[in-house]
Chain A
């Protein structure tokens, strides 16, 4: 599923990134690479999502989330 489908307070692993070169380079430079763990902190409609990953709170536009494929980690 894509990152924006992750419910609040759930954790997931990034499995794949899809997009143009520009997107790939921007998303990896903020720390989201395949294999890294993300936690959904806030997921409101019409707002960027807030995720926590690599010690950092990251705000991501919802469209950009479509290129981030994740697999939910069930605790």
Chain B
């Protein structure tokens, strides 16, 4: 056999992603399941000359029909896409985490069981006899610890054995338990073999008892009406899931009963958990953890950001060199203003992606992420989000792009998109650099009030956006309270973590470069004019000035607002240059390249911009689209051009409305 596909199946926190990263390293690819918004992770590795493809299936607690993730997972396996399934359980919480195995029983694909976190279980004083479990299950069962190199040899052996022997799970003892449920026997006898390909009649009967809608719909198609109706009436009891769940756990108890020895130690909250779960200190401790982590992540990220600045520094010499060899002006400009500029953005962005992915990945792996979810569950739940969403929000105060990249820790697509949509409303570092400067220039001590107003508007904006976007992205029936485990803390596996971070950074580089080049080129074209003065944007800006006046913006301010959608750092430079009679084309390109502000910038602003106009501009710029890089990151994470475009349009409109409101309030005051 040249290529063999293995699927990784396990509950959240079973260490599935760590194993996936350790096995596949840089050979992985993230995409979407066809027609679905669920992420699909695939990779490959070679062992003893055999190539293995690995599918990292979405983590879920069971194989019910509660979410797209679970249905995709079970259908993927049952349709024969995988040659063998590796089921992961957490040795430190063996009883509960074997539920996945019990739910899998009846799917007709070879499998083997990996008892992960063997080290944690050992620390807890648990002794597990894998051989005894293996004898009862009839499939290879191996203790495993991702941080122990020797574990991998055992893993490869078990994998080979499971493939060669086509190891099938022994389900007879489980079926005997199910037989005690009223209606099970009758339903089982009504379901012919292969009624739904890949699933045994036992599995189908259990799902029917649990009221699984997807299975019932398939049965309705597969069976004649009278048989289906008999199944319907036999399963009538709503307590089906409770009865089958009870059987699954009773079976698990039988399987592991003799094989597990515990120390009988009482489990209490660790000292760290007492701080995280504290009513008084919990939130502060979480925020401190994330902030310290981010600061720490900047150290390895700095070289990448340095490359970004270095590329930008190349712009002048390259343009000069091209001019001196009489390269056509258009090409020189394109290379300088579009290509070099874009790559400078891309590398600065990669620094952020690298840092954020590393910190979030680490927090997830050691188990802190679950505590964060717990602490912020109530607050974020009000917005229709998971507690984890607080992390991208925190990052967005520094950089929206980092926030968007960090949103990948959220495992539900709708909630991820909603998180990113809300993160855009948080003023980023570049806004926090411009806003205090502009406000203190125009309003003196009143700047404090302006900043306060921005924070209030931010909260209202997020609330409103959550209402508007949330209705579609996170459907009401999907909004359910937290039911989640707090996993024991684990040591991180650095090699695997770094491989994952490098892989993600590389992938982001490829995908995002295209978007940024495209958007920068479009903006450049809109600005370009052969004479050096003019350009499409400039002309439009001047013509529609009567309209932009409604929002309190002269054409100069409006063009600076447009520029702020590309990068907020440049906005003030554009205003200053335009009022000094510079061309928009040059002003825009200079400001984006980070050319220092003119020395008379304060006088220019005060002489040309009134207080209400300044207020309007501050709000327009702050709540505008954050920058092209944030746009690219949003597209990269949502995998959806439609939703990215919706978010852009929405933020443009809202920022203009806010500007108009600020302007008219300003007119009343001054």
Give how many A residues have a beta carbon under 8 Å from the other chain's beta carbons: 36
| A29 beta carbon closer than 8 Å to chain B | yes
Instruction: Note all chain A residues with C-beta closer than 8 A to B483.
Output: 26-27, 30, 58-61, 64
The answer, yes or no, to whether B668 is at the interface (CB within 8 Å) is: no
When each residue 44-75 of chain A gets 1 if its CB lies under 8 Å from chain B and 0 otherwise, what string results? Answer: 10111010111111111111100000000000
Which residue, B210, B238, B482, has most C-beta atoms of chain A within 10 A?
Answer: B482
| Segment 5-25 of A: residues with Cβ below 8 Å from B | 17, 21-25
- A45 to B240 CA separation, bound complex (whole angstroms): 32
B96 at the interface (CB under 8 A from A): yes
Q: Which residues of chain B have C-beta atoms less than 8 A from A24's C-beta?
A: 210, 238-242, 245
A31–B99 CA distance with the chains assembled, in angstroms: 8
CB-CB under 8 A from B238, the residues of chain A are 21, 24
User: Are B103 and A64 closer than 8 Å at their CB atoms?
Assistant: no
Interface residues on B, range: 35 or more
Is B245 within 8 A of A59, CB to CB?
no
**B374: Cβ under 8 A from any A Cβ:** yes
Cβ contact within 8 Å between B374 and A48: yes
A33 adjacent to chain B (CB < 8 Å): yes
Q: Are B96 and A50 in contact (CB under 8 A)?
A: no
Q: Is the CB of B93 within 8 A of A25?
A: no
Q: Give the contacting residue for A25; candidates B62, B370, B381; CB below 8 A.
A: B62
In the complex, A48 Cα to B480 Cα: how many Å? Answer: 13
Query: Whole-angstrom distance from the CB of B238 to the nearest CB of chain A?
Result: 7
Given A17-B242, A29-B61, A47-B374; 8 other pairs, CB 8 A cutoff: A25-B241, A26-B64, A48-B374, A48-B481, A55-B94, A56-B96, A57-B486, A64-B480
Residues B481 and A62 in contact, CB atoms below 8 Å apart: yes
Chain A CB within 10 A, most for which of B62, B64, B480, B481 = B481
Minimum CB–CB distance for B275 against chain A, Å: 12
Distance, CA A47 to CA B376, complexed state (A): 8
**Once the chains bind, are B242 and A31 in contact (CB under 8 Å)?**
no
B93, A59: Cβ atoms closer than 8 Å: no
The 8 Å CB contact of A44, one of B211, B248, B279, is: B279
Q: In this assembly, does B277 line the interface, its C-beta being within 8 Å of a C-beta of chain A?
A: yes
Chain B residues contacting A25 (CB-CB under 8 Å) are 62, 64, 66, 210, 241, 245
Closest 3 CB pairs of A and B: A61-B481, A28-B245, A29-B62
Q: Is A36 an interface residue (CB 8 A)?
A: yes
Across-interface contacts of A62 in B (CB, < 8 A): 481
With most chain B CB atoms within 10 A of its CB, the pick from A21, A33, A55, A64 is A55
Choose among A55, A60, A61 the residue that contacts B93 (Cβ–Cβ < 8 A). Answer: A55
State the Cβ distance, A60 to closest chain B Cβ, in Å: 6
Contact of B377 among A33, A34, A36, A47 (CB under 8 A): A47
Contact status B246-A33, CB under 8 Å: yes
- With contacts A54-B95, A55-B92, A61-B377 taken as known, whether A42 is within 8 angstroms of B277 at the C-beta atoms is yes
Q: Is the CB of B377 within 8 A of A48?
A: yes
Task: Name the A residues within 8 Å of B375 (CB-CB).
Answer: 47
User: Roughly how many angstroms separate A44 CA and B277 CA in the complex, as a whole number?
Assistant: 9
Asked if A64 and B481 sit within 8 Å, CB to CB, the answer is yes
B451-482, CB under 8 A of A: which get 1 and which 0? 00000000000000000000000000100111
22 sampled A-B residue pairs with Cβ under 8 A = A21-B210, A24-B238, A27-B483, A28-B62, A28-B245, A28-B246, A29-B61, A30-B61, A30-B96, A31-B249, A33-B246, A41-B268, A42-B277, A47-B277, A47-B378, A48-B378, A48-B481, A50-B486, A56-B93, A59-B377, A62-B481, A64-B482
Q: List B contacts of A46 (CB < 8 A).
A: 378
Which residues of the other chain, B, contact A53 by a CB distance below 8 angstroms? 96
Q: Would A57 and B485 be within 8 Å (CB), given that A25-B66, A47-B374, A52-B267 are in contact?
A: yes
Please judge, given known A-B contacts A26-B61, A48-B481, A59-B377, whether A54 and B279 are in contact too, CB under 8 Å.
Answer: no
In the assembled complex, B269 has its CB within 8 A of some CB on chain A: yes
Beta-carbon contact of B66 and A26 below 8 Å: yes
